[in-house]
Amino acid sequence: MIDQYKHQQLRIGLVSPQQISAWATKILPNGEIVGEVTKPYTFHYKTNKPEKDGLFCERIFGPIKSGICACGNFRIIGDETEEPKFCEQCAVEFGDSRIRRYQMGYIKLACPVTHVWYLKRLPSYIANFLDKPLKELEGLVYCDVFSFARPIAKKPTFLRLRGLFEYEIQSWKYSIPLF
């Protein structure tokens, strides 16, 4: 980006989850939508081929070898006379293998996460945005304490949470009969 005084600068910002999935999602000619990595596997241990919908999936990121799809069909890359650019059996694009460097995929996470740069930088962006002390947020990020979904009258502190857990332990100790 170049400003009005011809100085080069770089702007870094946050991207919404919807924008990330829009960047990574592509629609195949058969109407199937790919882009989400749903399996934690990389390669099949017997065939040494990438697992379908895994971290190295050829449907999401492109072919391993240029012009060869996952099932082994071969097409000349520069030949535009043939209509299908995708294999009908495995739905892998016939193209150059270098596109794997640029294709994006995404993983849906079960809970939100944060990058350490936004937490540890002084002043902390997240602490300023949420108007919370950094120590309290570090406990939430590193899963040291639990957050309540409903607001309570008093702010939860570490001592109050620890006292709550100690109370539950004491109440269970006397409610279970020992034989």
The per-residue b/e assignment along 32-55, b for 16 or more CB within 10 angstroms, e otherwise, is eebbebeeeeeeeeeeeebbbebb
152 vs 143 pLDDT, higher one: 143
Report d(CA 59, CA 32) in Å as an integer: 11
Looking at residues 80-103, what average pLDDT do you find? 78
Query: Is residue 170 predicted with pLDDT exceeding 60?
Result: no
pLDDT at 56 over 60: yes
Helix-, strand-, coil-residue percentages of the chain, each rounded to 5: 30, 10, 60
Mean pLDDT of the residues in the chain:
76
User: Which segments of 71-152 are extended strands (E)?
Assistant: none
Write down the pLDDT at residue 126: 82
